[in-house]
């Protein structure tokens, strides 16, 4: 598995370089607990790939979505320890931490009330909406996050096509204290042309502050490789040094 993924980047180390970001803060690398890495070997293979891309640190973010992935902080941190130990045994020189990607629903509200959230950095908490429509109480929960001292990091806003190129909706989320995190895969066209165009629109608006791979599996690796080889926009993004990712190292 590791050899297969490493080969995707063989001979391209200079061109395929995410080192300007330092940290990837959105991925699914704890084995067997969501739709990401299937087992420990798969986790290590994906981590090896991220290292080869130039990342020095990974904050992996398993889903906490009570209907589909009823994970807990304890389960995530236990899985993290297993990955860290295995990476150390393999002499894999990349820092590995864990947080969570929280689906905004009633279970999230319970965790918020308990102040039992796993942040990606200090008080930064990664949250996501449904791809079919934001929860009717989403704005209430985003506001409450701030009152409880959390900074909401909204995962992949470009993928919520019910907000597509609607500045009034996106600006409302910014007013509620959200920081926007864009998926690099969106620029690569992995999710389709409509998401890619929405991503480009948000980038032109200057409201994206964090970039993440949202890495789950080999197909994502291949898409990142193709994007870096063929996307001028992606290359231009990696020439900037203003991304908040650099604060996570």
pLDDT digits (tens, 9 = 90+) for 175-229: 999 999 999 999 999 999 999 999 999 999 999 999 999 999 999 999 998 998 8
For 21-78, the pLDDT digits (tens) are 999 999 999 999 999 999 999 999 999 999 999 999 999 999 999 999 999 999 999 9
What are the structural domain ranges in the chain? 2-7+19-248
For 84-112, the pLDDT digits (tens) are 999 999 999 999 999 999 999 999 999 99
How far apart (Å, rounded) are the C-alpha atoms in residues 183 and 166? Answer: 19
Helix, strand or coil, per DSSP, at residue 112: helix
Under CATH, what is the fold of the domain 2-7+19-248? TIM Barrel (3.20.20)
Name residues whose C-beta falls within 8 Å of residue 204's C-beta, 6 or more positions apart in sequence.
Answer: none
The CA R_g of the chain, rounded to the nearest whole Å, is 17
Q: Quick one: pLDDT at residue 5?
A: 52
pLDDT confidence band for 139 (50 / 70 / 90) = very high
The three-state DSSP-derived secondary structure of 171-203 is HHHHHCCCEEEEEHHHHCCCCCHHHHHHHHHHH
pLDDT confidence band for 241 (50 / 70 / 90) = confident
pTM of the model: 0.94
């Amino acid at each position: 598995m590791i050899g297969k993924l490493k080969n995707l980047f063989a001979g391209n180390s200079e061109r395929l370089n995410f080192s300007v970001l330092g940290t990837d803060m959105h991925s699914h690398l704890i084995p067997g607990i969501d739709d990401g890495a299937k087992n420990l070997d798969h986790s290590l293979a994906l981590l090896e790939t991220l290292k080869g891309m130039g990342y020095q640190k990974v904050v992996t973010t398993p889903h906490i979505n009570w209907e589909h992935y009823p994970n807990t902080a304890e389960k995530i941190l236990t899985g993290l320890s297993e990955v860290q130990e295995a990476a150390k045994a393999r002499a894999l020189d990349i820092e590995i931490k864990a947080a969570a990607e929280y689906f905004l629903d009633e279970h999230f509200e319970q965790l918020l009330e308990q102040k039992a959230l796993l942040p990606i950095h200090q008080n930064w908490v990664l949250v996501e909406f449904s791809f079919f429509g934001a929860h009717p109480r989403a704005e209430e929960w985003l506001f409450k996050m701030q009152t409880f001292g959390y900074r909401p990091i909204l995962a992949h806003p470009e993928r919520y096509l019910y907000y597509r190129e609607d500045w009034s909706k996106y600006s409302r989320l910014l007013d509620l204290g959200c920081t926007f995190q864009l998926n690099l895969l969106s620029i690569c066209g992995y999710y389709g042309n409509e998401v890619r165009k929405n991503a480009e629109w948000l980038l032109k608006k200057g409201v994206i502050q964090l970039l993440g791979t949202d890495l789950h599996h080999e197909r994502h690796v291949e898409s990142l490789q193709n994007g870096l080889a063929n996307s001028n926009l992606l290359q231009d993004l990696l020439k900037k040094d203003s991304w908040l990712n650099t604060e996570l190292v």
